[in-house]
Structures are given as C-alpha cells and as structure tokens.
Structure 1
Amino acid sequence: MPDHLTIRADGDAEIGVGHLVRCYALAQAWKRQGGRVTLVTKRFPDRLTEWDGLERIELGDVVAEADLVTTLAAGDGWVVVDGYHFDKTYLCAIHAAGRPLLVIDDTIRLDYYPVTALLNPSPGFSKADFVCPPNAATLLGPNYAMLRGEVLQARTPQENPSEQTRILVTMGGSDPRCLTRIVLEGILLLDPQEFKTQVILGPSNPSHREISSLAEGRDDIEILLSPADFPHLASRADIAITAAGSTCWELAYLGTPSLTVTAADNQRPIASAVDRAGAGESLGDGSLLAPRELSDRVVRLAANPDRLARMGSAGQRLVDGSGAERVVSRLQEHPS
C-alpha cells in the first residue's frame, strides 16, 4: 500500500468549506498511520493555512486544473476527490490514469461513479443505489462520518445546567444564502435573561458587519468570526442551530442537540437522518423560516431538559467518532 494520499477539494464563499474540513479529518487520520498527504485546491481559506503537516498545491499558481490529471498519473497512492463540481468526465480521466480513486459524495449525484471506492456518510443509502465498477468499495452511512481531531478531543461530560440556556448558531463556513441573519432575527425575540447565544461566522462568510449590526446592544448575543475553539464552544452549548451539513455529525458526536436548517437540497438527507435518530429536530428550508417560529421552537426545547438529554445521547449513538479511521482502514485493505 503506497503511503501517499492526494486530496482534491475546494472551499469558498459559494460552496462552503465542509468538503475541505472533512478531507482534513481524513488527512489527519492518514497521517496518524504514518502516511503522507498532499492537498490540491484552488485557494486556501485563511483558516486552512493554519493546518500544519500537509503538502499543498494551489491550482492556478503551481499547476492548472487541466494539467492536474497528468500530474496525478505520475504519482502514486490514493486520490481523493470531494466536491459537487467534479463531474463524471473529470473523475473518469483520473480513474483512467491508473491510480486508485476515492470519491466523497452526499447524494446520488452521478449516474455512474468511475471509482475504486465511494464514500457517502449520509444515512439511508445502499450499495444498490450507486452504479460503480463491480469491484468498487462502498463506504456508506454515519459510521464513515469523518471528524477532525479537534472535535474528537472536545467531547466532555455535559456540564451542570447554567442559569441561561446556551445557544450556538452556525450556518457553515460561507452561508451564501445569509441564513445566519434569518436565524438571528429569531434569536433577537428570545428573553436575554434566559438565553445566551454565540453566533459563529465561518471564514468565507461575507456578512460579518451586517450580522454584528443586528446584534448591537444585546449583551446576550456574541458574534464570533471563525473561532479556533469551535469544537469546545459546540460541546458547551445546550442547543445548536445549524445548517444541515457535516457540522451535524460533529454536534452529534459531541452530544449537542441540534435544530437543523436546510441550506441546500443535498442537506435534506442529513436533516432527516438527525431527526429520525432523535439527535435533533428539523426546522426545514432556512429561507422559509419565520423568526417567531424559530424562537418558539427554541423556547419549547429549552423547557424540556429530559428531551435535550435524550437528544444528546442519541447523537453520540449515531456518530462514534471513528469514521476517519474506518475509511483509512478500508482504503488500506482494498486492492488498488
């Protein structure tokens, strides 16, 4: 088994940074096994520059996208591709180059996956749902949800309830639909004596000034821009209001109950799965969410500590934190 893993993923204000974050979790697990990792992306978000230990290639600077397949063909080891903009033609070109290919997806996006292995952490899918080469491995469901080491280290026993219910708001790394503002309008209706809210803005969120202006004068609301200790903040929250992306798996592992907001069609399976598992409740399409509806749901949930405790336990049953290690193990054992 070659020790080199090459990851091709992007993150920006339009597509968010979730693809990069989960690929970084895989990179961490790969390196823990003594492997080497090269990350290829169009542009490194500010937070990504702090991720040490990865060899990095920035497209448009060192190599153009059109030349990437040639570059990959000359290398060794697994190639990982994560992103909805990589079409079947692109994947076929990499697969034909002869290196084993892992594609990460969240839906059934293609009518054929030219892969050596396919990873889809969303629940409810089976191998029969995907058309792949006969010998391709399929890694399906939340058991393969890949979490960063920072998240794995942040899980602690729940603290005793505080006088105020602690709310965490996170709409992902970019929030192109400005759902943070919609959620914040609901938060502003909460009693500041009973609730304390931290609003997380990701590294690619362009609405920092607008959000800060909305919360001006409210001591119960704190706006945080891409905090380094996000996993710790999430583990301390009593309720998280989150976009239904990969952050849901982090919150589930941490035992933090969630109210999920759907920001894109590919998030619907995750929102439904978290709801079915009892780890959270779905608020539906974020663009249709009314502020009063949100505040009412938060108040009802906060008034039911037994329900919150059950949701936290259900989340930890859903995601055990070993997903990245399982992926590494499957890649190492699969004939390439």
Structure 2
Amino acid sequence: MADPCIALRYDAWPEIGLGHLRRAYALAQECAARGIPVRHVVPERSRALLERDGIPAGSILDAGTDWLSQAPDVTHVVTDINWHGNGLGASKEVARLAAAGVPVAMIDCVPPDEYVDQPSPPALIITPYLNARRLRAAPPNAAHWEAGARYTILSPDYAELRGRALPKTERILVSCGGSDPDGFSLATVDALLGSGLPLDVVVGPLFAEGIRAGLADRAAQHSRIRLHDAPATLAPLIAQAGLIVGRVGLIRYEAACLGTYGIYLAAGPAYADYFEQFTARGFAEIYQDGRNGGRAAYLARLPALASPETRAPLLRRNTAAMAAVDGTGAANVIDMVLTLTQDAPTQRGPQ
C-alpha cells in the first residue's frame, strides 16, 4: 500500500459549533507527529475558519466538489459529519466514499444521529463517547466498530497538562462554544455575578458583535471577569479552573481529561440517555432545554456557587473522570485507521 495520506472530512459553522473542527485539528496534529500528510475536506463556508487558523490553502479541499478524484494521494478518509440532524446525510455521504474504494473511518454519534445502514458501509465506525455501546440496540453495519471514551479525540496539550497536576483555583471558566448563537454566555455570566467568584470567559471566534460588546461591558464593570478571545486551546484555562459552566460540547471531555467538574446546558432534549449516564458517573451536571427545568434550572443552579459549602465538593480534582478520559484518543483513532486496507484498485469517479 502507498504511504498513508489521510483526508479529514468535517463540517464547521456557527449553528453546529466548532467541535468537529477541533477534533479534526487534533487528528491532524497526531498525523503530523507521525509524518503522515492530511487533507482538510470542508464545505466552502468553512474555509475561512481554517485559513484563519493557519491551515495551508493547498491542503484544503472543497467538500462540495468531486474532491476524492482530485486527491489521488489520499489512502484513507476519516469523516466527522454526524452533527445533530445529519445522521442520514452523513451515512449517505460515507457510502458514496466507501463505494469509491477508499477505506473510510466514520466518527459516529450516539442516537438519534448515529450511522444509518447503507449498501456500501464504512470500513470502521468509531463512536468516541462514554458508555456508547450501551446506547445502541445492535452494532452498526460496518466491518469494524470501536466505541468508548478511549477514542475521545483531544489535542496533545491535554495529555501533557494532566501530567502536571496544576493546582485548582476558585476561578470559574465560562465556555459556550465557538459561536453562542443565542447569547447564552451573557445569561451565564449574569447568573454568576452575585457569587463574587472570579470568572474566565471564553469569547468564541464566531461570537456576534452584540454578544462581544455585552461581555466587554460586563468585564469593564467587574474586575474579576477576564475575557479570553478565541484562544488557540482551552487546556490551560481548564487545567487551572475549579469549575466549568456553559454549553455542553467537546469541552465536557476536555474537562474530564483534566479532572475539572462541569455544569452544562444542552440545547434541546436530544441525547438524553447519554447525558444522564455522563451525569450519573459524577463527571458533570448536564441540564437540557425541554427537560426537568432545562435552562431555568441551570441558571438557578449557578448563584448557589456563592456558598463555599456548595462549591467545595465541585472544586476537587475529579480523578474518576481523568481515569475515563486519558487524552490518548487521537492516537488510538489513528492507530485504528491505519489498520484499514484499500479495496482492489479502482478508478475513482464522481462520488
């Protein structure tokens, strides 16, 4: 087989957030450490994000074109396009790629956005979530399925920082994703103002100007608020934080890896079984819009952090979470991808 070259097919825009992009970057870093070239395959609407982050233009391919036939050096494809509502769409796209003869590894999601059986299944499905196997009634129709938190994809600085055991502080990290379309960061900060606790507030790269202005105004009025504008990584902030609050997303695993507890709100009732298991393990409290008080219950929880007795148990290093998410997921994923072999040579035609 030719020297490996991996195409990372993923999506990123305000409505779905930047978790897929961050996972792709982590996989690209793991590939770079092994000397494996990668191609970033994204919709045209995502290109500006990659270029902003310094991804070379020549390594970016337009997912809306017949990109696979334009990249004959690609030996493997990894897809991460199972965002909420796109389970079937992702499955059909993966089937087209698999039919072209290239080994496809699909980063899968938990129900209801999991892989839907297709005539040409992927060679490998990886569901990189805690207790993922318990959430499926039956294994997916693929040659191989791997699941569990050992495949959680994080950037290399998480594995490095967890070894340092930095002392926890009483600082609260507020993170509402890369885009925050509904201004949830403002509501979260407002709910915490009365606590008197120091806040580190992440301003995502896709935040609207009105939300940015609102956060800047609050920081100007309260010296204990620090704003962090589009940091390249959240790892140092998570490592020193006593607690994380905000929107649930990839950060729940980043926090678990570094032993930091989180209080999160999920947008909508999807993935309830999964979030309840995550909460039951003691790694975080996850509230959901439309369930058990949702947003109101989450916002009502935050002022209680003013009490030292309430917050003290939450500020301890969560060693059980660290044991579940050890920071080696990107390496484990690439190890599995490289076991895949290409089908008998075929001429790649339109997908």
Common fold by TM > 0.5: yes
Give the length in aligned residue pairs.
Answer: 322
Task: Output the CA distance in 1 between the equivalents of 2:273 and 2:58.
Answer: 33
- CA gap of 1:328–1:257, structure 2 versus 1, over 3 A, is same
SS in 2 for 1:12: coil
Summarize the Cα distance change of 1:291–1:278 in structure 2 as closer, same or farther, 3 Å threshold.
Answer: closer
| Greater CA drift, 314-323 or 259-268 | 259-268
Query: How big is the shift at 1:298?
Result: 2.7
Shift of 1:316: 0.5
What 5-or-longer segments of structure 1 have no aligned partner?
none
Alignment of 1:117-196 (within 5 A): 117-126=124-133, 129-133=138-142, 136-155=143-162, 156-159=164-167, 161=169, 165-191=170-196, 195-196=197-198
Is residue 36 of structure 1 aligned with residue 37 of structure 2?
yes
Question: Following superposition of structure 1 onto structure 2, how do residues 283-322 of structure 1 map, counting pairs within 5 Å?
Answer: 283-285=287-289, 288-289=295-296, 293-299=300-306, 303-309=310-316, 312-322=318-328
The alignment status of 1:224 with 2:218, answered yes or no, reads no
Provide closer, same or farther for how the CA distance between residues 160 and 210 of structure 1 changes in structure 2, counting only shifts above 3 A.
closer
The residue identity in structure 1 corresponding to 2:22 is V
Alignment of 1:1-336 (within 5 A): 2-41=3-42, 42=44, 43-46=46-49, 49-51=52-54, 56-59=59-62, 65-71=64-70, 74-83=72-81, 84=83, 85=86, 86-108=89-111, 109=113, 110-112=115-117, 114-126=121-133, 129-133=138-142, 136-155=143-162, 156-159=164-167, 161=169, 165-191=170-196, 195-206=197-208, 207-228=211-232, 230-265=234-269, 268=272, 271-285=275-289, 288-289=295-296, 293-299=300-306, 303-309=310-316, 312-336=318-342
Q: Is the 8 A contact 1:37 1:55 kept in 2?
A: no
Q: Distance in 2 between matches of 1:117 and 1:174?
A: 31
Summarize the Cα distance change of 1:307–1:198 in structure 2 as closer, same or farther, 3 Å threshold.
Answer: closer
**Greater mean alpha carbon deviation, residues 82-91 or residues 264-273:** 264-273
Asked if the contact 1:177/1:263 (under 8 Å) is kept, the reply is: no
| Per-residue deviation, 1:267 | 5.6
Q: Which runs of 5+ in 2 are unaligned?
A: 343-351
Q: Does structure 1 retain, via aligned residues, the 8 Å contact 2:98–2:122? A: yes
Q: Which amino acid aligns with 1:330?
A: M
Contact 2:4 2:37 in 1 (8 A): yes
Q: Structure 2 length as normaliser, TM-score?
A: 0.81
Cα gap change, 1:132 to 1:292, in 2 (>3 Å): closer
Provide TM-score, normalisation by structure 1: 0.85
Q: Distance in 1 between matches of 2:57 and 2:333?
A: 18
Residues in 1 aligned to 2:152 and 2:193: alpha-carbon distance in whole angstroms: 33
Inter-CA distance 220–291: structure 2 relative to 1 (3 Å threshold):
farther
- The 1-side partners of 2:105 and 2:225 are apart by 42
Does the aligned pair in 2 maintain the 1:215–1:221 contact within 8 Å? yes
Paired with 1:268 and 1:177, the residues of 2 have a C-alpha distance of 21
1:263–1:273 CA distance, 2 compared to 1 (3 A): same
Q: How many angstroms does 1:250 deviate by?
A: 0.7
Q: Does structure 1 conserve the Cα–Cα contact (< 8 Å) formed by 2:177 and 2:247? A: yes
Indicate how the Cα distance of structure 1 residues 150 and 48 shifts in structure 2: closer, same or farther if over 3 A, else same.
farther
Relative to structure 2, which stretch is displaced further, 287-296 or 250-259? 287-296
Query: Cα–Cα, structure 1 residues 76 and 52, in superposed 2: closer, same or farther, change >3 Å?
Result: closer
CA deviations 1:61-94 (Å, max 9, x no partner) are xxx614234335x443111111234433322211
* Deviation per residue, 1:102-140 (Å, 9 max, x gap): 11122232421621111111223327634323xx22121
Q: 1:292 to 1:8 in 2, by over 3 A?
A: closer
